[in-house]
C-alpha cells in the first residue's frame, strides 16, 4: 500500500525512523534520542545528520557542489555523517539514494535550545523535519529548552523518553493511514523535564529575541549560539568559519541579544515557559493574515491605476 508515494508501516515489521539534527552527528541530543529509540527494540533506526554544527542555518540547501556521506559509529544503527545542511540530510535520507527504503518517520533533534515563535524560521532542526514533510514523509522536530547552569546531558535522555508516547502514536496512525498529511509536528520540552505538566497542543507564536551586532577582535570571542539566539557560554565552543581567512583590515562582528523576549499569549513559548511539553502542528505555507490580504486587495489596483495614468 502507498500513501503519497510512501510505503505504509507493515504491522509485521518494525517501522523505520530516520534521525537528523542541526547540532551535528556527535551532539548529545541526537545520540541520546538514538539510544532511547534503539533501547525500545520497536524500530529500525537510521541516522543521516550533519558532520558538524549547523545550528540556525534555517532551510538552506547545498546546490553548487556534491556532498559527502561518511559512515558513523553508532551501536545498532546505520548512520552517516553528511557534509551538508539539515535539509540536505533529510532530503538525502528519504531519497533512497543512501538508504534502501523510505523511512516511515523522520525525527529531527533533539536540539539544544527551544524552537518556538519566529525562531522556527531560523531553526535547522525544524528545517530537517520540514524538508521530510516536503517529500511526503511524516516528520517531527524535537527541541529541549536548555539552560546553562541548570541543564545537563542526561536531560536529553529524559526528553527522548517523554516523546516516546507521541512517536508510537504517530506510527500507529501512519499504519492505519489516518495520520494528517498537511502538517508536521514541532515539539519543545521544558527545562525541568521531570516535573513537566504534560503535553499541550499549541500554535506557533511571534516570540523572538531582538538581535544586534557587536564589533569583536577575534573569531573566538563569544560562546555557542543556541537556536533560541541566546549564548551558552558553558558549552564548548565550535567555531564554524568559511574557507576564507580574514585579512588584517577586515572588520569582525558577532550577533548578540539586544532586547526582551516578546511573548504572545496562548502560544508555544508561553506554555513551554509554564512547564508544558508543547506540541505544535506546523505547515509549510507562509500566507499573511486576512487583514493584510484585504489591505493589499484594495491597494494593488490603486497602484496599477496610478501607473497607467503616469504612462500617458
In a domain, 117, yes or no: yes
The partner residues of 231 in beta bridges, in order of sequence, read: 225
Q: Which domain holds residue 127?
A: 16-203+265-307
Per-residue model confidence (pLDDT) at position 113: 95
| Nearest CA among 27, 184, 56 for reference residue 120 | 56
Instruction: Report the candidate in 169, 197, 196 with the shortest Cα–Cα distance to residue 185.
Output: 169
Judge if the upstream peptide bond of residue 110 is cis by omega within 30 degrees of 0: yes
- The answer to whether residue 74 sits within a structural domain is yes
What CATH code is carried by the domain that includes residue 90?
3.40.1210.10
Q: 3-class DSSP state for residue 308? A: helix
> Which pTM does this prediction carry?
0.87
Answer whether residue 98 is part of any domain: yes
Distance CA 263, CA 284 (A): 22
Number of domains observed in the structure of the chain: 1
Q: Is residue 246 in some structural domain?
A: no
Cβ atoms of 226 and 112 within 8 Å: the answer is: yes
**Contacts of 60 by beta carbon, 8 Å cutoff, 6+ apart:** 85, 87, 127
Each residue's pLDDT, cut to its tens digit, for the chain (312 residues) gives: 344 444 445 456 899 999 999 999 999 999 999 999 999 999 999 999 999 999 989 999 999 999 999 999 999 999 999 999 999 999 999 999 999 999 999 999 999 999 999 899 999 999 999 999 999 999 999 999 999 999 999 999 999 999 999 999 999 999 999 999 999 999 999 999 999 999 999 999 888 877 888 998 876 655 555 555 555 545 444 444 454 666 778 899 988 888 767 768 889 999 999 999 999 999 988 888 999 999 999 999 999 887 766 655
119 occurs within a structural domain: yes
Within-domain flag for 184:
yes
Cβ contact 233:148 at 8 Å: yes
What is the predicted pLDDT for the residue at 34?
Answer: 98
Residue 143 lies in a domain: yes
Is 312 within a domain?
Answer: no
Amino acid at each position: 500500500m502507498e500513501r503519497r508515494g510512501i510505503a505504509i508501516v507493515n504491522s509485521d515489521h518494525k517501522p523505520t525512523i530516520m534521525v537528523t539534527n542541526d547540532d551535528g552527528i556527535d551532539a548529545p541530543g541526537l545520540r541520546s534520542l538514538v539510544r532511547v529509540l534503539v533501547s525500545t527494540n520497536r524500530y529500525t533506526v537510521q541516522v543521516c545528520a550533519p558532520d558538524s554544527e549547523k545550528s540556525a542555518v534555517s532551510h538552506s540547501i547545498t546546490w553548487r557542489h556534491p556532498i559527502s556521506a561518511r559512515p558513523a559509529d553508532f551501536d545498532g544503527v546505520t548512520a552517516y555523517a553528511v557534509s551538508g545542511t539539515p535539509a540536505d540530510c533529510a532530503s538525502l535520507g528519504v531519497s533512497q539514494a543512501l538508504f534502501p527504503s523510505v523511512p516511515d518517520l523522520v525525527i529531527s533533534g533533539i536540539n539544544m535550545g527551544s524552537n518556538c515563535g519566529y525562531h522556527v524560521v531560523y531553526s535547522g532542526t525544524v528545517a530537517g523535519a520540514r524538508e521530510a514533510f516536503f517529500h511526503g514523509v511524516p516528520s517531527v522536530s524535537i527541541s529541549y529548552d536548555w539552560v546553562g547552569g541548570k541543564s545537563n546531558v542526561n536531560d536529553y535522555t529524559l526528553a527522548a523518553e517523554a516523546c516516546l508516547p507521541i512517536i508510537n502514536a504517530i506510527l500507529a496512525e501512519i499504519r492505519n493511514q489516518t495520520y494528517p498529511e498537511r502538517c508536521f509536528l514541532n515539539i519543545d520540552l521544558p527545562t525541568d523535564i521531570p516535573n513537566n505538566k504534560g503535553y499541550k497542543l499549541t500554535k506557533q507564536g511571534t516570540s523572538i529575541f531582538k538581535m544586534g551586532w557587536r564589533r569583536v577582535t577575534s573569531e573566538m570571542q563569544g560562546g555557542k549560539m543556541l537556536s533560541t539566539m541566546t549564548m551558552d557560554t558553558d558549552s564548548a565552543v565550535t567555531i564554524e568559519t568559511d574557507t576564507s581567512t580574514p585579512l588584517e583590515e577586515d572588520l569582525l562582528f558577532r550577533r548578540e541579544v539586544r532586547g526582551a523576549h516578546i511573548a504572545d499569549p496562548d502560544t508555544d513559548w508561553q506554555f513551554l515557559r509554564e512547564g508544558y511539553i508543547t506540541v505544535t502542528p506546523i505547515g509549510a505555507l507562509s500566507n499573511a493574515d486576512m487583514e493584510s490580504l484585504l489591505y493589499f486587495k484594495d491597494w494593488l489596483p490603486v497602484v496599477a491605476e496610478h501607473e497607467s495614468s503616469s504612462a500617458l
